[in-house]
Amino acid sequence: MRQAVHALSVRTERPGLHEITREVAAWVGQQNLRTGLLTLFCRHTSASLLIQENADPDVARDLEDWVAKMAPESRDYRHQDEGRDDMPAHLRSALTGVNLAIPLVEGRLALGTWQGIYLFEHRARPHRREVVLHLIGD
């Protein structure tokens, strides 16, 4: 049994879904494991991780719109230390989650045909986000 850990840095220029599948799969491929489990963990409270369809960009836009409706910007929140999008970003992250687990089968991530891995940026200004990848397997 082997383990490998990597911190993936993701620059975001805008809120929304940012696909990171290629970067994650490339790192996993370099580890030369055949079977295992990849865990991804977003080290932030105002961004999150999703596995979602990557074929039709309307899916991403619809998800972004839905999450914005579920946790809208408002002056009614107590926590607004970094602006009006601060607390909604925390709520959106709580709705969507900060970790994923993906099986590794025959050396490849066991994603479905139309599935991609996304960092979901919930803040309006640019950020550098860090996603920790932990792979365990043979």
Reply yes or no on whether the pLDDT at 5 is more than 90.
yes
The predicted pLDDT at position 82 comes to 87
Q: List the chain domain ranges.
A: 2-137
* pLDDT tens, position by position, 14-46: 999 999 999 999 999 999 999 999 999 999 999
Any idea which fold 2-137 has? Answer: Jelly Rolls (2.60.120)
* pLDDT tens, position by position, 60-99: 999 999 999 999 998 899 998 888 899 999 999 999 999 9
The pTM of this model reads 0.95
DSSP string, 86-125: HHHHHHHHHHH-SEEEEEEETTEE---TTEEEEEEE-SSS
* pLDDT tens, position by position, 104-116: 999 999 999 999 9
